[in-house]
Structure 1
Amino acid sequence: MFARALTLFVAAVFSVSSLAASGDAFEGHDYARVKNPQAVATGKKVEVLEFFWYRCPHCFQLEPSLAKWIKALPKDAQIRRVPAVFREDWMPGAKLYYTLEQMGLLERLHAKVFDAYHLQNLDLNDPAVLGKWIAKQGVDRKKFESTYKSFSTQSKATQGARLAMTYGITGVPAFIVDGKYMTSVGMTGSEARLFEVLDELIAKARAERAGKKAAP
């Protein structure tokens, strides 16, 4: 009886592994359906949300590959980065992100913020350290600090924190495709597989938007 049960278990595991490695994103393994699907903010474009934290080592490690993948996104898809806030000490990073966004500095400084935390060991949560660092980047420090402390920035950071809670995000980096599907490196097993799954989920969402059944 035990031998038969073991055989069935091994067969089941092999079946799941085969499906996951076949190239098709496997629900329950590579991705999961969001329990409470949400409306997207990208209009006609398929939305890809990235929940991250600047001080997260996994987010830092993923960033170069993610940046490369984003450049190759199809025209009908759009990435939206959302700094998650699980604790009070995550809020400064969220405010930093939205300050850079409002000042049009994300493209130039987003990766540099990661480097400052992880390679230079700078505590950008410290206002004094952040102020000196931002000035070294050639940014008007007074304008930056004013934007950082603004109601608009605080509001955006709070909304981002709520969005992570709404989607049930418990760790970063994590991705939501078109408000319906969740995936992560932890689910896919590797960075390379993550981007394959994201591509498949974008295609799936595209087909669903067009009222077509996604290809198996």
Structure 2
Amino acid sequence: MLTLSLITLLSLTAWAEEDTRYQEGVHYTVLSNPLKTTYRGDEIGEIMEFFSYSCIHCYNFEPAIERFLDEKPDNIRFTQVPVMFNPRNEPEVRAYYVAQVLKIGEEANREIFNTIHRERRALRTDAQFAQLFEDKLGVDEEKYMNTAYSFGVDPMVQKSVQLTGNSRIGGTPTIIANGKYVIDSGAVGSNEMALYVAKYLIERDAQQQ
């Protein structure tokens, strides 16, 4: 019994030490009004990446996201949220959701990021995105425009507006776990590390339930 109690005590001590590794107010903040999440069923949480195609840091973050997704547990959902800080963001937000509706999200992300940051070509208007989708993704310009302003995409754009505003973030990329933990990438060391801190917080919450 003594040995079992000692093991239990050591386990609790280790957990307590682990639990203080990332601290509220230092490594992350907690939203007073949590964002609506989309994880369901057997999933234990959701990581959101707030991003912008025009953001060079988001472009540089992509390889780290790919590595993380390769090893991420299946019970944690990963969701990208294109930010809508102002009306100038709307064409790229619509482009993101057009790609989701047409089920070419991964390919479209790569082509859009590369066009802006490798080829140094501006993508600021619906017409420019429509041309890119036709030239590089095989989507007819008319089909692109019809999809971009469809009943399916309009609510998605409004959701981005709401999530961006309610998140109270000031820049991209930003990682938020379970709709409430806003990770400070600088405090934890890097944008890539922010993904793992988000994972840790989700798993911590799941264990405490």
Q: CA deviation at 1:23?
A: 8.8
1:32-43 alignment, distance < 5 Å: 32-43=29-40
Q: Could you tell me which residue of structure 2 aligns to residue 123 of structure 1?
A: 122
- For residues 42-191 of structure 1, what are the structure 2 equivalents within 5 Å? 42-44=39-41, 45=43, 46-141=45-140, 142-191=142-191
User: SS where residue 151 of structure 1 aligns?
Assistant: coil
- Superposed CA RMSD: 2.0
Q: Deviations over 1:10-33 (max 9, x none)?
A: xxxxxxxxxxxx992222221111
Partner of 1:15: none
Counterpart of 1:13?
A: none
Residue-pair matches, total = 188
Q: Which runs of 5+ in 2 are unaligned?
A: 1-18
Distance in 1 (alpha carbons) for counterparts of 2:178 and 2:138: 34
Q: 2:23 aligns with which of 23, 26, 34?
A: 26
Compute the displacement of 1:177 (Å).
0.8
- Indicate if the aligned counterparts of 2:48 and 2:81 stay in contact, CA closer than 8 A: yes
Matches of 2:175 and 2:130, distance apart in 1:
31
1:188 maps to a residue whose letter is V
Instruction: Give me the TM-score of the superposition, normalised by structure 2.
Output: 0.81
Cα 1:184–1:153 change in 2 (3 A) is: farther
**Larger displacement relative to structure 2 (37-46 or 68-77):** 37-46
* Secondary structure at 1:158 match in 2: helix
Q: 1:138, 1:179 → 2: CA distance?
A: 32
Equivalent pairs: percent with the same residue? Answer: 24
Deviation of residue 81 (structure 1)?
A: 0.7
Structure 1 stretches of 5 or more lacking a match? Answer: 1-21, 212-216
- The whole-number CA distance in structure 2 between the counterparts of 1:31 and 1:95 is 30
- Name the stretch that deviates more: 67-76 or 181-190: 181-190
Q: Partner letter of residue 175 of structure 1?
A: I
AA at the equivalent of 2:196: E
Question: Which ranges of 4 or more aligned residues in structure 1 deviate by more than 3 Å?
Answer: none
Rounded Cα–Cα distance in structure 2 between residues aligned with 1:138 and 1:109: 7
In 1, are the aligned partners of 2:97 and 2:156 still within 8 Å (CA)? Answer: yes
What does residue 194 of structure 1 align with?
194
Q: Write the distance in 1 (CA, Å) between the matches of 2:126 and 2:196.
A: 39
Q: Name the aligned partner's letter for residue 38 of structure 2.
A: A
SS in 1 for 2:49: strand
Quote the offset at 1:192 in angstroms.
4.3
Give the SS at the match of 1:137. Answer: helix
Q: 1:30 to 1:120 in 2, by over 3 A?
A: same
CA shift in 2, pair 1:137/1:200, >3 Å? same
Aligned partners of 1:76, 1:43: CA distance in 2, in Å?
Answer: 9
CA drift at 1:132: 2.6
Q: 1:127 to 1:196 in 2, by over 3 A?
A: closer
Shift of 1:162: 0.8
**Matched-pair contact (CA < 8 Å) for 1:173–1:184:** no
Question: TM-score by structure 1 length?
Answer: 0.79
